[in-house]
Structure 1
Amino acid sequence: MKNGQFFLFGILFLLSTTTYSQQALTAPPAPIPAEVMFGDKRTNFQLILSKPIDARGKFSFFNVTNGAVDYKNKADETEIVVVNNVLYDLGHNLKASAGAQWHFKLGLVPLMGLQFFKANPTWLIIVSPSICLLPGTNMETVSILEYKPSLGQKTRLYTRAQVLYNQSIEDGLHARSGYTFRAGITHKKFTYGVGMNFDYYGPSKFEKLNSGLFVRVSL
């Protein structure tokens, strides 16, 4: 129940932030992709939000919310990680980032780093290395590659590869890694297809695999 309350609070916060950004800036808002995968072992959820803060677009707010829950609704199998960063545009598709994540096990984790972002209608590339400052000092890198060629006037192929890797700087031990793959068809605002998640936890790299069908909508 406690995790569910935090998750609800995070969604309400995102919605309020989106409303504020739309009122404060006249530029058309960027789409907000929200995705759910119904896998054979559990359900995965991801929402990504990116909004400019100032009129010049030098500062922006970036959020990634990831969640997972098994079908027996076990508390120890429920995962929620909410990452909030303020970005400053350094030019050449590079941004400095600072913020914090709320982690379902670690609590509040301050972080700082860089983000490389480049996108067009066919390609999207994000590489975001950061240093997590608490409870230990860890290096974390998130990379996303999307390929979305046009198949028609309102239809596109959708493919995505996403990699997460987190390792302790102090002892060099593996903390968390994950590999996400999606393939489907986008029609207007909706995307449907198949997906696979490979998740690994702790120094022993305890493995959790999940595959199934996903649906994604651009809000």
Structure 2
Amino acid sequence: MTTKLFLSIASLFTSISILKAQETATLEVKNPPIIVETVFGDKALGFQTTFQKKLTTAPKFGIFAVSDIIGTWDKDDTDGFMVQGNITYELMKNFNLMGGFHMATGVDIRPAVGVIYSKGSPDYVIVFNPRYYIDDNGEMEAFLMGEYKPKISENWRFYSKIQAMYAAITNEGNPHTRSYLRLRAGVNYKEISFGLASNFEYFGPQKFNQNNFGLFVSTALF
């Protein structure tokens, strides 16, 4: 029942977006780049892409998508993947409503709703994204990311990032399902960043811990 309701809402959003595109003249929209990051760690290879774009002819609407993959070197450790895709609507500056789907290791495809607050400049980026999964479990998730990259020279910047996520099933007394803390420190040259990486990953109600330390490289694809 909830899935049918979600699909109906998604269809409504899509219809409104098409009407807006037909009625609005083409505008110049400044979209952030697609970010692709790879981590070469002692325990695993990590890969993450972040896609956030607004529609040129209907800039209130956009798409926000993330994919995250962990492939471990040791078969006794935990592999994992996560993919989400969302339609966004700008309610006010830096603040967007979102609705879409989420799928991950051991979990069926689930509809989700939430909000995204994002703000940035050449020196910093802040993103906060709480969301709620529309299913019988009542799972909630909160995502926070911050980047700080002050200028060193014409083409070089110091680069640092903190990224955290926490998910729990509220219908079962808040048992933990998945969380992590990821830290980056290095340098940025034009659209490429690289340096040291630390991942602290936790799985399931028992918070099984799996850490990963190594090097990262990321690039901004425009």
Q: Name the TM-score, length of structure 2 as normaliser.
A: 0.83
d(CA) in 2 for partners of 1:87, 1:28? 16
What is the aligned partner in structure 1 of residue 3 from structure 2?
none
What is the aligned partner in structure 1 of residue 62 from structure 2?
60
Q: Deviations over 1:176-198 (max 9, x none)?
A: 11000001101012111001000
What is the aligned partner in structure 2 of residue 216 from structure 1?
218
Structure 1 segment 119-138 matched on structure 2, within 5 A? 119-134=120-135, 136-138=137-139
Equivalences, count: 195
CA RMSD of aligned residues (A): 1.8
The answer to whether residue 65 in structure 2 is matched with residue 80 in structure 1 is no
2:122 partner letter: P
| Alpha carbons 1:85, 1:99 under 8 Å: kept | yes
| Alpha carbons 2:29, 2:59 under 8 Å: kept | no
Higher-Rg member (1/2): 2
What percent of counterpart residues are identical?
31
d(CA) in 2 for partners of 1:170, 1:80? 24
d(CA) in 2 for partners of 1:27, 1:126? 19
Of residues 31, 34, 44, the one that matches 1:32 is 34
What is the aligned partner in structure 2 of residue 71 from structure 1?
73
2:143 partner letter: V
What is the aligned partner in structure 1 of residue 17 from structure 2?
none
Name structure 2 gaps, 5 residues minimum.
Answer: 1-25
Alpha carbons of structure 1 residues 28 and 123: separation in structure 2 relative to 1, 3 Å:
closer
Alpha carbons of structure 1 residues 135 and 157: separation in structure 2 relative to 1, 3 Å:
farther
| Alpha carbons 1:138, 1:170 under 8 Å: kept | yes
**How far off is 1:110 after superposition?**
1.0
What is the aligned partner in structure 2 of residue 157 from structure 1?
158
| Alpha carbons 1:119, 1:125 under 8 Å: kept | yes
| Alpha carbons 2:149, 2:158 under 8 Å: kept | yes
Q: Secondary structure at the match of 2:171?
A: coil
d(CA) in 2 for partners of 1:92, 1:62? 16
d(CA) in 2 for partners of 1:25, 1:103? 36
Q: Secondary structure at the match of 1:77?
A: coil
Q: Secondary structure at the match of 1:30?
A: coil
What is the aligned partner in structure 2 of residue 91 from structure 1?
92
**How far off is 1:151 after superposition?**
0.6
Structure 1 segment 191-210 matched on structure 2, within 5 A? 191-210=193-212
Q: Secondary structure at the match of 1:152?
A: coil
Moved >6 Å (runs of 4+): none
What is the aligned partner in structure 2 of residue 104 from structure 1?
105
Of residues 187, 210, 215, the one that matches 2:189 is 187
Q: Name the TM-score, length of structure 1 as normaliser.
A: 0.84
**How far off is 1:70 after superposition?**
1.0
d(CA) in 2 for partners of 1:29, 1:165? 27
